[in-house]
Amino acid sequence: MQAPLNQQIVISGVGGQGVLFVTRLLAEAAIAKGLAVLSSETHGMAQRGGTVLSHFKVGDFSSPLIRPGHADLLLALKAEGIAQHAAFLKPDGWIAVNAAAAPADGGNRCCLALDADRLARAVAPKAVNLILLGFALAASPAESENPLFCDLAEIQSVLQKRLDARPQLLENALAALAAGAAAPAAV
Amino acid sequence: MNRKNLALGNEAIAQGLLENGCAIATSYPGTPASEILSSLARLQRQTGAALHAQWAVNEKIAFEIAYAGCQAGLRTAVSMKQVGLNVAADPLMSAAYMGTSGGFVVISADDPGPHSSQTEQDSRLMAMMAKIPVLDPDSPAQARELVAVAYALSEAFRIPVMLRPTTRVCHARQDMAPLSPRPPERQPAFEKNPARWAATPKFRNQLHHELERKLAEIAIYPATAPLKLNAAGETPKAIVVSGVAAAHAREIMADLGIGDRIALYQVRQPFPLHTDFTAQLLAAHSEILVIEETMGVIEMQLADRQRVRGKLCGAVSRVGEILPEAVENSIRQFAGLPGRVPSLPTVPGRRPTLCAGCPHRASYFAIKRAAPRAIYTGDIGCYTLGLNLGAVDTVLCMGAAISQAAGFYHAFKNAPKPPDIVATIGDSTFFHAGVPALIDAVVQGVKFVLVILDNRTTAMTGNQPTPATGTGAMDEPLNRVAIESLVRGCGVSRCETADPYQLEAFTRTVRAAVKYSRSSGPAVVIARHPCLLDKRRQEAAALAQAPTVGDACDGCGYCLKNFECPAMGMDPETERVRIDPLVCSGCGVCLTICPQKAIAACARD
């Protein structure tokens, strides 16, 4: 029998990048699997282009916040998020970051980079968030001892349910997710 | 199948209201409380519940409408943020004396941190001051449960009950059982009783005695008694927690494996603190640590300074959000455990800024050009961020831009060369608290310019309608109030409306208003352009211009410093300004501001 799944993910970016949307997709994927979910998000003043940070916990938790040194994954939609938020990670935690090259300041942790901005200009201009999520989902089992609690197909199915009535948006979202999943990590 | 849903804390509170027969719910938007009423309005549309949900012009009005509903025997609720409760403090204090007929829940959401507020004040202290019970949920799920408890408590004692969630409850999301709405069962009935509902001071004294009797009984009311969260037996040490600190502590105690050594109690009703609990706690434990946000409300009711630790002795910080790492460090120290959780490095993040294409940016740019040495009094809303542009010098509270402009005028009016004064206020804030201040300024002949930044919505809190919008919380059509008529009705004789996107013409309008104000008193400019985030107003978006920076750019940085558009940045290779097409809204205002005229419009593909 498997141990109960407990996973803590920090998602960081700036206002307007869709940090909260990614968090919600992960949360709905967890609920679809019958897992308990807690998350915490930033609203109001911080959303006006300032740093946006989302704490996401799946499993047996009661606090909506992640303590430094406890996160399994940092999903950074801006490279500057690493300096600010890598301290949330536990020693074997890993990073998926939107950056042209793997940044040096991730410490000794496994840090996978993808230039999602560049990919977005070609695929879907406003979908850096989904491109990076697709990238992290595809990279997770192979690159990490600490795989994500859900997979690409489960996120696709959440997107399908959410955007059922808006086929054009759904098509773009799925394309962005797939583009991220197919992209190799930058070195 | 009983499928769970994902719910925001504020949605969970709305579910609780709908499940407990709330018939009238009112609010003025404010982070972190705004989504309570909007969720309720959405659930009302989905279920067709017989519920009146509305945005009011301010918290005082919202409170008074909902309070009258409970005087008519219905279950009602009002929601706001902690600073909004200050605005509603007047009716709150009085309603506590008069009590209720139906159930009345006052939801005041606090913002420790403060993530999006002027203060970190603790609404529980306001409940204490008003002498009403307050409930302090630790999670979205508990917030929903406590709505039911609050209505039962309110009706059992005929008293307003406060529910005090914090940001980490309001803006947490959690898996949640689906809604099971219960329609309001009662018919309204108002029992006339002027001795109570219109009591003169003599009767208020009696009502105060009655209120004290109620509080003594509420302090032994079983349904809100503190809970023991672990199985620890007769331990010398005990930790008392409330609100989200309870959620942090439960998890941390389990992680540290000290749940059998130190008793952990959760207080759900911080005021009045249960008298039996207080007696038992002090009898059973020799050392007690209290962790709560923001003030020491529970701690000060445990009046044994020898054995109680908390904010008063510095064991818990009095300032800021009590983050879980701080809770862990407090618990480690109290338990005598080694080690410390490091805090996150203080790396400067991005500061918030007005959106690309925000019409306020153009307004502020024009104001600075029209009155470069003026005193700029500002107000509460997105446009507070005009301080990045050096066009906001003061921010006090809702509506104060106008009254402070008056104060500066009176302070300087006998000076040899009085400065120009330009006040800025948003449309929603103007309706909220600006109108009385403008009336006063007119009466006193205050020489200043008021720029009403009218983006047709309450943008900061998620684009709620204003009295000028013409729709309500449930998208129902409503009457409109025109800002121009209101301004003229206040007695202002010079009022002009202009579009800040037409930067040159707009600047001339402000300049003329400044000139007028110097000789003749108040002048108002209504800067009207819809918010780009307001999805109801698509005409605001989709401009055809794609500004590009040409060879004439010498990298002087004037636009970056004075216009501060997030779409603009210096390209380190070319040493020229670059415009990011992913961020640019196409407003085209930057074409006008470049001193070298290096920015040109191309057709958008």
CB contact under 8 A, A51 and B115: no
Task: Find the range with the poorest average confidence among A7-11, B486-490, B587-591.
Answer: B587-591
pLDDT in tens, B162-174: 999 999 999 999 9
Distance from chain centroid for Cα B107: 12
- The interface predicted TM-score (ipTM) is 0.93
Rounded Cα gap, residues B376 and B363, in angstroms: 13
Rounded Cα gap, residues B281 and B218, in angstroms: 18
Rounded Cα gap, residues B342 and B323, in angstroms: 12
Write out chain A residues lying below 8 Å of B248, CB-based. 62-63, 65
pLDDT in tens, B270-304: 999 999 999 999 999 999 999 999 999 999 999 88
CB contact under 8 A, A125 and B582: yes
**Cβ–Cβ contacts within 10 Å for residue B372, how many?**
9
Q: Is the pLDDT of residue B103 over 80?
A: yes
**pLDDT of res. B535:** 67
Q: How sure is the predictor about A1, in pLDDT bands with cuts at 50, 70 and 90?
A: very low
Rounded Cα gap, residues B515 and B420, in angstroms: 9
Q: Is the pLDDT of residue B175 over 60?
A: yes
> Which of A41, A48, A87 is the closest to B352 by Cβ?
A48
Write out chain A residues lying below 8 Å of B4, CB-based. 31
What is the sign of the dihedral through the CA atoms of B370, B373, B379 and B385? positive
Task: Find the range with the poorest average confidence among A62-66, A169-173, A181-185, B26-30.
Answer: A181-185
Write out chain B residues lying below 8 Å of A31, CB-based. 3-6, 175
Answer whether B514's CB lies under 8 Å from B508's CB. Answer: no
In this complex, how many residue pairs, one in chain A and one in chain B, have their CB atoms less than 8 Å apart? 140
State the distance between the two ends of chain A, measured CA to CA, in whole angstroms: 38
For residue B524, the SS3 value is strand
Q: Does B155 contact A at CB distance below 8 Å?
A: no
- Beta-carbon contacts of A163 under 8 Å, excluding residues fewer than 6 positions away, are A169, A170, A173
Q: Is the pLDDT of residue B605 over 60?
A: no
With a pLDDT cut of 70, the percent of chain B lying above it is 97
Q: Is the pLDDT of residue B23 over 60?
A: yes
pTM for the predicted model, two decimal places: 0.94
pLDDT in tens, B122-147: 999 999 999 999 999 999 999 999 99
CB contact under 8 A, A39 and B172: yes
Distance from chain centroid for Cα B271: 23
Rounded Cα gap, residues A154 and B478, in angstroms: 43
Q: Does B471 contact A at CB distance below 8 Å?
A: no
**pLDDT of res. B346:** 84
Over residues B396-407, mean pLDDT: 97
Q: Does B385 contact A at CB distance below 8 Å?
A: yes
Please name the residue of chain A whose CA is at the shortest distance from the CA of residue B358: A48
pLDDT in tens, B440-486: 999 999 999 999 999 999 999 999 999 999 999 999 999 999 999 99
> Which of B116, B175, B328 is the closest to A45 by Cβ?
B116
pLDDT in tens, A93-140: 999 999 998 776 656 788 999 999 999 988 888 899 999 999 999 988
**pLDDT of res. A47:** 63
pLDDT in tens, B523-537: 999 999 999 887 655
**pLDDT of res. B543:** 59
CB contact under 8 A, A50 and B353: yes
Q: Does B345 contact A at CB distance below 8 Å?
A: yes
- What is the DSSP annotation of B112-141? SS-SS-S----HHHHHHHHT--EE--SSHH
Helix (H) / strand (E) containing B152: helix B140-157
- Beta-carbon contacts of A13 under 8 Å, excluding residues fewer than 6 positions away, are A19, A51, A52, A76, A77, A78, A81, A129
pLDDT in tens, B261-276: 999 999 999 999 999 9
Rounded Cα gap, residues A166 and A162, in angstroms: 9
| B294 Rama sector, left if φ>0, alpha if ψ -120 to 50, beta otherwise | alpha
Rounded Cα gap, residues B1 and B436, in angstroms: 55
Q: Does B2 contact A at CB distance below 8 Å?
A: no
> Which of A35, A48, A66 is the closest to B355 by Cβ?
A48
Rounded Cα gap, residues B531 and B462, in angstroms: 11
Q: Is the pLDDT of residue A15 over 90?
A: no
Write out chain A residues lying below 8 Å of B328, CB-based. 67
pLDDT in tens, A51-85: 899 999 999 999 999 999 999 999 999 999 999 99
Please name the residue of chain A whose CA is at the shortest distance from the CA of residue B344: A87
For residue A13, the SS3 value is strand
CB contact under 8 A, B582 and A37: no
Over residues A168-173, mean pLDDT: 94
CB contact under 8 A, A45 and B354: no
| Nearest residue to B248 (alpha-carbon basis) of B160, B360, B327 | B327
Q: Does B202 contact A at CB distance below 8 Å?
A: no
The one-letter amino acid code at B60 reads K
Measure B47 CA to nearest chain A CA, in Å.
20
Rounded Cα gap, residues B524 and B516, in angstroms: 10
Q: How sure is the predictor about B1, in pLDDT bands with cuts at 50, 70 and 90?
A: very low
Give the CA distances from residue B265 to residues B229, B290, B315, B407, in Å, rounded to whole numbers and listed in that order: 6, 10, 18, 50
- Beta-carbon contacts of B273 under 8 Å, excluding residues fewer than 6 positions away, are B219, B267, B298, B301, B302
Q: Is the pLDDT of residue A49 over 80?
A: no
What is the DSSP-derived secondary structure letter of residue B383?
G
Q: Does B328 contact A at CB distance below 8 Å?
A: yes
pLDDT in tens, B187-224: 999 999 999 999 999 899 999 999 999 999 999 999 99
Q: How sure is the predictor about B180, in pLDDT bands with cuts at 50, 70 and 90?
A: confident
Write out chain B residues lying below 8 Å of A121, CB-based. 582
Please name the residue of chain B whose CA is at the shortest distance from the CA of residue A49: B352
Q: How sure is the predictor about A163, in pLDDT bands with cuts at 50, 70 and 90?
A: very high
| Nearest residue to B59 (alpha-carbon basis) of B77, B41, B79 | B79
Measure B318 CA to nearest chain A CA, in Å.
20
Q: Does B188 contact A at CB distance below 8 Å?
A: no
Write out chain B residues lying below 8 Å of A67, CB-based. 252, 323-325, 328, 341
Q: Does B1 contact A at CB distance below 8 Å?
A: no
Over residues B351-361, mean pLDDT: 92
| Nearest residue to B400 (alpha-carbon basis) of B83, B29, B63, B90 | B83
Over residues B1-11, mean pLDDT: 86
Mean pLDDT over each residue of chain B, to the nearest integer: 94
Strands (E), B199-301: 227-228, 237-241, 263-266, 287-291
| Nearest residue to B267 (alpha-carbon basis) of B218, B225, B206, B219 | B225
Please name the residue of chain A whose CA is at the shortest distance from the CA of residue B253: A62
CB contact under 8 A, A84 and B347: yes
Distance from chain centroid for Cα B364: 24
| Tokens, residue A138 | 């595809």
Find tokens 């199915």 and name the residue.
A157
Task: Find the range with the poorest average confidence among A33-42, A135-144, B34-43, B349-358.
Answer: A135-144
